[in-house]
Structure 1
């Protein structure tokens, strides 16, 4: 999937890291040249310096082939302009935008090209799922210095582990289940915990890849 992210602040950078780790083609844009320079060489993605509210810059950054545009700047007006350009001028299939001020939430709809409006307080996991439609395994966080990854996988009705207890699942070496979220409630599972469709598992590993975790559960 080709992804264009406008805004290289904390949220935009985290989203870019997650989607790049999940093997998407990601371009991150920011108007601050110093911020882009700071990120050079640190992220496995394309960085573009410039104002994403400018159609020419968006086109240069790759808006035409983009499957998803995410506007995560700290300015609601900018996020709306970016969303409208992405949808109307570049016909991007899916556009998500961050809502910084709750009073402006009513503006973030399809009239402004926004498919998914994301309140500023939305957890990163939910934001990624809402923006991309991802319900499979996603690398949520890579702690490069510690060599640790936090990986999420979601049990579906088609998962081969649905209906099985955790004791039956052979986890990749060096991998632990940190928590399972069921019906919005997190729990620390026991080996007797029975998995069912809709369960969200967060695993911590210093060796396993997303593909290995996917293979264990799906």
Structure 2
């Protein structure tokens, strides 16, 4: 699948990493030249510097042959413009856009070319599931539709689990760790995996709350 991700912030970068790891062809766009330069050589994706709201830039990034465009910038207006261009000008089959301000949610519909609207608080792998419409990227993604929540927690230098193996973390009942993202790379967890600051832990649970997960790791 050919994917364009607009916005190389934390969320856009993670999405690009996960989709690239699933053997998709990913192009990541950002208007900040310094951000693009920072990511050079660190991501298994094609990086493009420029404004994704410009049709010429989107065409250069490969919009004419894209199967999926995901707008993840921090500006709702930009995400709407990118979505409209992707759908109306380039006839991209599937377009997903992130809503940063909940008050703007009503705008994000098919009139603006948006097939999938994703609230800012949506966990990473739920976002990927909704955006791609696929279940082979991460096998556990369908669980969120079967009454199982996907919960994300970030490990900081102050987290009490830093330096501890996963086997030492007392998880709430009915909870399993789906994956850990370290340095932008998704990793299959093992009981001996040692947590460090900067890790992002994605869990699935049918009983635990976000507060309980936070208490277990923080």
Mapping for residues 71-90 of structure 1, pairs under 5 Å:
71-90=71-90
The counterpart of 2:178, out of the listed 202, 207, 211, is: 202
CA, structure 1 residues 154+9, in 2 after alignment: closer, same or farther (shift >3 Å)?
Answer: closer
Q: How does 1:187-198 map to 2 (within 5 A)?
A: 188=173
Indicate the structure with greater helix content: 2
Could you say which residue in structure 2 is the equivalent of 1:183? 147
| 1:109-155 CA distance string (max 9 Å, x none) | 000000001000011111000000122352xxxxxxxxxxxxx5368
Q: In 1, Cα distance between the equivalents of 2:71 and 2:26?
A: 13
Secondary structure of 1:118's counterpart equals strand
Q: Provide the residue aligned with 1:14 in structure 2.
A: 14
Matches within 5 A, 1:1-218: 1-138=1-138, 152-153=139-140, 183-185=147-149, 188=173, 202=178, 204-205=188-189
User: How many angstroms does 1:189 deviate by?
Assistant: 5.7
3-state secondary structure, aligned to 1:12:
helix
CA RMSD of aligned residues (A): 2.5
Aligned with 1:95: secondary structure? strand
For the structure 1 residues 185 and 120, does the alpha-carbon distance in structure 2 shift closer, same or farther, using more than 3 Å as the test? closer
Give the TM-score, by structure 2 length.
0.68
Tell me, in whole angstroms, the C-alpha distance in 1 between the residues paired with 2:136 and 2:173. 21
Gaps of 5+ in 2: 151-171, 180-187, 191-218
The alignment of Structure 1 onto Structure 2 pairs a total of residues equal to: 161
Task: Report deviation, 1:181.
Answer: 9.5
* In structure 2, C-alpha distance between the alignment counterparts of 1:133 and 1:32, rounded to whole Å: 29
The alignment partner of 1:202 has SS state of strand
